[in-house]
Amino acid sequence: MAARLALGFGLLASNLLSLQAEPAPDEAPPVWAYPIAPKGTAAPPDDGTVRHVPDSSAGYTLTQIRDLFVALDWRPGDHPPMPSIVGLGRKPNLRACGSCHRPEGIGGPENASLAGLPVAYLRRQIADYRAGTRSTGVAARAHVFRMITALKELTPEEIDQATAYYASLKLPARIKVIESERVPASIIPNWYYTPKPDGGSEPLGDRIVEMPDDEDGYVDRDQRVTFTAYVPPGSVARGQALVAGSEPERVPACAGCHGEALRGTDDIPPLAGRSPSYIVRQLYEFKHGLRRGEMAEPMQANASRMSLADMTAIAAYLATLPP
């Protein structure tokens, strides 16, 4: 665990969560779903060492890894040729899509997995971000606003290229879900959790804690890194029941819109196998009006009747499904 850096996303100057909205006190954003590095967290300096990942002949220094205008391409054979906007971006504000979402579109718990999302849905999200009708529940998540700034500079041709590229990819199965009352004691180097160097455990409570299984590989943006999501006992079965429509007066069956096996439709996103941290954030943001763009109304209505415990259970179950 030599690398405690932030995937190049930048380090926050505060660990206070500045809210985008003013929800009821019992519905403030679930802090655990929006991890932010504590004040004073610093990325290690680049000592010039060239870093490597398994099954790749490429090598990059930390300075290169932190350069958000270049998507690290450890294994070019694992994906089609990247459009320029995915691989390189454009300075000063338009960072490469693949730098954070990776060339393979797998993303991480800190952002969206774009692989396999429908073109129509991707285009709609770009439009919503640009119009200010989609944001985040915690304003201190600075990387979200850097992305919004970048999206505003995309040309129509770049939107066409990026959405077609990511829609053509398939999301691999990469999340192991474990129900447990305790979780490895963790720290937040930036937008993610990792076990404390000295070990130990702590109560999980009502949280989901999602960690990379290989932190160094995750920091290096190796797309083959897998994740373990610790979820509360009983949450998977509870989520399965809710997703299937066991309480339709509150939570309609998800397959009605998200398709067979929850793998999406032509313009509705797939849910199966996606990051549970990300899913919780989206449900919370629908409920509190932070996602209110075109076609958001049905999800706003559905999420409005969900408790945070419902959201956690649904997200835990969805993460167990094959993408």
The pLDDT tens digits of the residues spanning 65-86 come to 999 999 999 999 999 999 999 9
- Whether 4 is in a domain gets the answer no
Domain with 191, as residue range(s), is: 25-320
What pLDDT score was predicted for residue 202? 98
- Whether 62 is in a domain gets the answer yes
What whole-number distance in Å separates Cα of residue 140 and Cα of residue 158? 28
- pLDDT higher than threshold 60 for residue 96: yes
- Would you report the helix, strand and coil content of the chain in percent, each value rounded to 5? 35, 10, 55
CA angle 278/322/141 to nearest 5° reads 10
- Whether 8 is in a domain gets the answer no
What pLDDT score was predicted for residue 15? 34
What pLDDT score was predicted for residue 207? 98
- Whether 6 is in a domain gets the answer no
Task: Please give the average per-residue pLDDT across 153-163, as a whole number.
Answer: 98
Q: What is the pLDDT of residues 187-200, one digit of tens each?
A: 999 999 999 999 99
- pLDDT higher than threshold 50 for residue 323: yes
Q: Is 247 exposed, middle or buried (0-12, 13-18, 19+ CB in 10 A)?
A: middle
What pLDDT score was predicted for residue 43? 87
- pLDDT higher than threshold 80 for residue 108: yes
Q: Quick check: 196 and 187 in contact, CB under 8 A?
A: yes
| Number of domains comprising the chain | 1
- Whether 17 is in a domain gets the answer no
Task: Please give the average per-residue pLDDT across 32-50, as a whole number.
Answer: 93
Q: What is the pLDDT of residues 219-262, one digit of tens each?
A: 999 999 999 999 999 999 999 999 999 999 999 999 999 999 99
Tell me whether strands 227-231 and 175-179 are parallel, antiparallel or unpaired: parallel
- Whether 13 is in a domain gets the answer no
What whole-number distance in Å separates Cα of residue 65 and Cα of residue 106? 17
- pTM, two decimals, is 0.91
- Whether 147 is in a domain gets the answer yes
Q: What is the pLDDT of residues 165-193, one digit of tens each?
A: 999 999 999 999 999 999 999 999 999 99
Task: Please give the average per-residue pLDDT across 129-158, as a whole number.
Answer: 95
- Whether 118 is in a domain gets the answer yes
- pLDDT higher than threshold 70 for residue 17: no
Alpha helices in 42-155, H assignment, sequence order: 62-65, 84-87, 97-101, 119-131, 142-151
Q: What percent of the chain has pLDDT over 70?
A: 92
What pLDDT score was predicted for residue 27? 82
Q: What is the pLDDT of residues 126-142, one digit of tens each?
A: 999 999 999 999 999 99
Q: What is the pLDDT of residues 110-123, one digit of tens each?
A: 999 999 999 999 99
pLDDT averaged over every residue in the chain? 92
Alpha-carbon distances of 127 from 189, 203, 241, 282, 288, rounded to whole Å: 31, 40, 34, 17, 19
What pLDDT score was predicted for residue 26? 53
What pLDDT score was predicted for residue 13? 32
